[in-house]
Amino acid sequence: MALLEVEGVAKSFGSLRAVDDVSFKVEAGEIFGIAGPNGSGKSTLFNVITGIPFKPDRGVIRFDGTEIQGKSGNAIARLGLARTFQRETSFDGLTVFENALIGSSYGKPERPAAEARASAAEALEFVGLSSASFGRLAGELSVFDRKCLMLATAIAMQPKLLLLDEPASSLTKPEIESSIGLIRRTAERGITIVLIEHVLTFLMSLSRHLLVLNQGQVLASGDPKAVISDERVVEAYLGKRRPAA
């Protein structure tokens, strides 16, 4: 059984169909890539899956066998589904450790305090934020370290499924390489990953399955090499090819 099943999901804003009859499945243990031009509906799709900040207009979303499309964002997160955002989102006035502790406590509110603290510390060290940085304010971190903090906060929730929204944005080439390695190691922890990214080389290095959205609809889906060779995908990214003179 698939860990995540999305069937006929749609979301509109007035006359704009941001997500239009999208269906796909994500198997447990895989890294599943989602690509598409700007405005193709990628982040809106993550929003309706997680219930933050809105639910789908129609369609069915099953996570680990449970329908979640009518549940609150809190309830969905506590079933074991976490996400990160395009921008480096953190509580800038809190310390690095306090940010991770919020994730640890939020994901499992019944967790004893000592266990929550241990989980937060382990997640931070896993992403490369050593104990020397725990007392720093999150707002003082570099872009890359803030992305690492956002990932650590999600990992501290101990999710089954993690949705990553453009983790490579604003990063340098060496930082992108570090991010690829970190995502691979995250998957090795047994966390299934769905990954949105504009950088196709990033997706190709990580994804076992690639889905491309365009204007809210599924344009192509399947083996990454076959998908990026699809003429419809090339046209969506580069524009229609002119005939040879």
DSSP assignment of 151-184: HHHHHTT--SEEEEE-TTTT--HHHHHHHHHHHH
Which residues on neighbouring strands pair with residue 195, listed in sequence order?
33, 164
The larger pLDDT score, comparing residue 200 to residue 155, is at 155
The pLDDT-based confidence of 243 (bands split at 50, 70, 90) is: low
Q: Does the CA dihedral 87-13-18-31 come out positive or negative?
A: positive
pLDDT of residue 200: 84
pLDDT of residue 245: 47
Q: Domains of the chain (ranges plus CATH)?
A: 1-80+159-245 (3.40.50.300), 90-158 (no CATH)
pLDDT single digits (tens) 208-227: 999 999 999 999 999 999 99
pLDDT single digits (tens) 118-131: 999 999 999 999 99
Beta carbons within 8 Å of 14's beta carbon, 6+ residues apart: none
pLDDT of residue 47: 96
Tokens representing 152?
């650590």
Cα(49)–Cα(45) distance, integer angstroms = 6
Mean pLDDT of 65-93: 92
**Cα distances (angstroms) measured from residue 97 to each of 55, 118, 145, 178:** 31, 11, 13, 22
What φ, ψ does residue 126 adopt, rounded to 5°?
-60, -40
pLDDT of residue 1: 75
Cα(67)–Cα(192) distance, integer angstroms = 18
pLDDT single digits (tens) 170-187: 999 999 999 999 999 999
Q: Where are the beta strands (DSSP E) in the chain?
A: 4-13, 16-26, 31-35, 58-63, 66-67, 81-83, 161-165, 192-196, 209-214, 217-222
The percentage of the chain sitting over the pLDDT mark of 90, rounded to a whole number, equals 86
Q: Which of 70-84, 93-107, 186-200, 230-244 has the lowest mean pLDDT?
A: 230-244
pLDDT of residue 31: 98
pLDDT at 88 over 90: no
- The CA-CA-CA angle for residues 108, 92, 182, to 5°, reads 60
pLDDT at 240 over 70: no
Quote the mean pLDDT of the chain: 93
pLDDT of residue 106: 85
